[in-house]
Structure formats: C-alpha cells, structure tokens
C-alpha cells in the first residue's frame, strides 16, 4: 500500500542491518518492529500482542515482552512508564523524546532531549556507564497544579 511505502522501506533497512549483525529475525520480531514503525505512538505490550494477533501471529504477552526487550537492546524501541500501569513502548525518535507527567491532573508534556546531554556525559565520565536515556518520564506537578498547591499551603483559598 502506498501510504506504507516509507515505513516498509525503513523496516527492510532495519531488518537487513539486524541480520548483518547476526540476528535471527523471527515473525514476532519482524511484526513487532513493523507495528512500532507504522503506528508512531505509545503502545503497551498487550496492545502490540493484539496487533500481532490481528496479523495472524499468535504469541503470548511474555513472548512479546521478550521481543520488545531484544528490540530495546538493539535501540529500536524505547520503553517508559506514563504512570498508568503498564509500561509503554515506542519507536525511538531522533532525537529521543521524554515526558513530564503531572501526578495531580495527569497531564503529559514533552521534554527536550538536549537537557539530557550533560547528564549522559556526566554518567559516562564518572561511572564509565553508557546510559541509554531514550524515553524518560519525570513525575511531578505541572505549572497549574504547583501554583494551586502553593496557594493551598498558604490557606489563602
Ligand atoms: Zn513517549
Ligand atoms: Zn497538573
């Protein structure tokens, strides 16, 4: 289908790269990657399992989870929590995207990846650890909720 040309060319390219690195590409691996590339949004493990089933690939959630972890090791999926129970997975952006999540009203906004550059450098320099900060969620209070909270503290309401 025409509208899928870009993502299917991209899928073929990524799969060729994985094969060149000696990986075996099973149907669940191929389709999980395909679903993530095509949908361009957050999906839970269970939602991905459902998409695979719609395409006739019947695997359990544990298999999908293992597949996602394998993709994560290959930096082809970014995992995070949005505070709603199940972790969500997305194809990593370039640059990656991150989230600010309000614990009071539940609003979610995006955070610029440039903020993480000094953190990556410091961790690498001080610990020799190479962090994959690809999809990070920071919980707290949004501007509106924080100002309400401080108003409440002063009991001015
Ligand atoms: Zn995200
Ligand atoms: Zn809020």
Tens digit of each residue's pLDDT (9 = 90 or more) over 124-149 = 999 999 998 989 999 999 999 999 88
pLDDT tens figures, 83-117: 888 999 999 887 899 999 999 999 999 999 999 99
Q: How far is the CA of 65 from the centre of ligand 1 (A)?
A: 18
pLDDT above 50 (res 78) = yes
Token output for 43:
């999906």
Instruction: Give, to the nearest 10 degrees, the angle between helix 27-39 and helix 5-20.
Output: 140
Q: How far is the CA of 157 from the centre of ligand 1 (A)?
A: 36
**Ligand nearest to the Cα of 147, by number:** 2
Q: How far is the CA of 154 from the centre of ligand 1 (A)?
A: 35
Q: How far is the CA of 141 from the centre of ligand 2 (A)?
A: 5
Quote the pTM value: 0.82
CA dihedral of residues 24, 27, 28, 34 (deg, nearest 10):
100
Q: How far is the CA of 19 from the centre of ligand 2 (A)?
A: 45
pLDDT tens figures, 13-37: 999 999 999 999 999 999 999 999 9
**Ligand nearest to the Cα of 139, by number:** 2
Residue ranges and CATH numbers for the domains of the chain are: 1-91 (1.10.10.10), 93-157 (3.30.1490.190)
């Amino acid at each position: 289908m025409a509208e899928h040309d870009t993502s299917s060319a991209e899928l073929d390219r990524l799969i060729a790269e994985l094969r060149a690195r000696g990986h075996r590409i099973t149907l669940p691996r191929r389709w999980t990657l395909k679903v993530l590339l095509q949908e361009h949004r957050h999906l839970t493990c269970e939602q991905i399992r459902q998409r695979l089933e719609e395409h006739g690939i019947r695997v359990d959630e544990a298999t999908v989870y293992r597949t996602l972890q394998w993709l994560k090791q290959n930096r082809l999926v970014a995992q995070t929590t949005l505070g709603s129970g199940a972790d969500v997975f997305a194809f990593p952006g370039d640059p990656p995207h991150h989230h600010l999540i309000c614990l009071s009203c539940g609003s979610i906004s995006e955070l610029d990846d440039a903020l993480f550059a000094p953190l990556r450098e410091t961790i690498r320099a001080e610990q020799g650890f190479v962090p994959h900060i690809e999809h990070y969620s920071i919980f707290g209070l949004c501007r509106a909720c924080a100002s309400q909270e401080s108003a409440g503290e002063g009991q001015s309401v």
